[in-house]
Structure 1
């Protein structure tokens, strides 16, 4: 199994960047589910964590991350450095989760 390295930093201890391939990216747009929205509304009245949205956003981040990794692999990378996430509202009740970073070829030092 081929090792693929992700890092939020620009450097990875024990590795050197031998080639920068460009920006790798992955995104997904998720909309609220009516049933979960009703449960979330009830939680909002009582206060506390809105678990339905926490779970939805965690799943969306994972999908965006996997799409970014796939894009990087298609570019010939074995790693992505400077990984970041961004979110934005794209419509009423829908949000985009975007993962991006620099696709690189890393070698052990």
Structure 2
């Protein structure tokens, strides 16, 4: 599955547009990560626990996006965008969306 943030892919022709597809996940912070984040806020540095959480969340949202596109018969998802939002205290959503298409194989 080709996944791109571009509207077109050089050298490939979009032959069918299948519509909007999306994937999301909502994750809560871990108490242990919060304690370490609090210490990092005092001393500075990367919040590695949160970096890992964000990476896992992006991967899960992308996987759900791809699954939805495959169900529609797409072989590519174009114009992919990510969004984040706070759902509740300590919980955030990662949302990814794009256009499911069929591109010519050359």
Give the structure-2-normalised TM-score: 0.97
Distance 2:33 2:104 in 1: 45
Report SS of the residue matched to 2:5. coil
Distance 2:11 2:64 in 1: 26
Correspondence 1:62 to 2:59? yes
Correspondence 1:9 to 2:3? no
Report SS of the residue matched to 1:15. coil
Give the structure-1-normalised TM-score: 0.94
Distance 1:80 1:53 in 2: 28
For structure 2, which runs of at least 5 residues remain unmatched after alignment? none
For structure 1, which runs of at least 5 residues remain unmatched after alignment? none
Report SS of the residue matched to 1:62. helix
Aligned to 1:28: 25
Aligned to 2:91: 94
Q: What is the CA-CA distance between 1:44 and the residue it aligns to?
A: 1.1
Name the Cα RMSD after superposition: 0.8
Aligned to 1:51: 48
CA contact (8 A) 1:14 1:108 kept: no
The superposition leaves residues 62-81 of structure 1 with CA deviations (integer Å, 9 ceiling, x where unpaired) of 10001000000011111100
Runs of 4+ in 1 over 2 A off after TM superposition: none
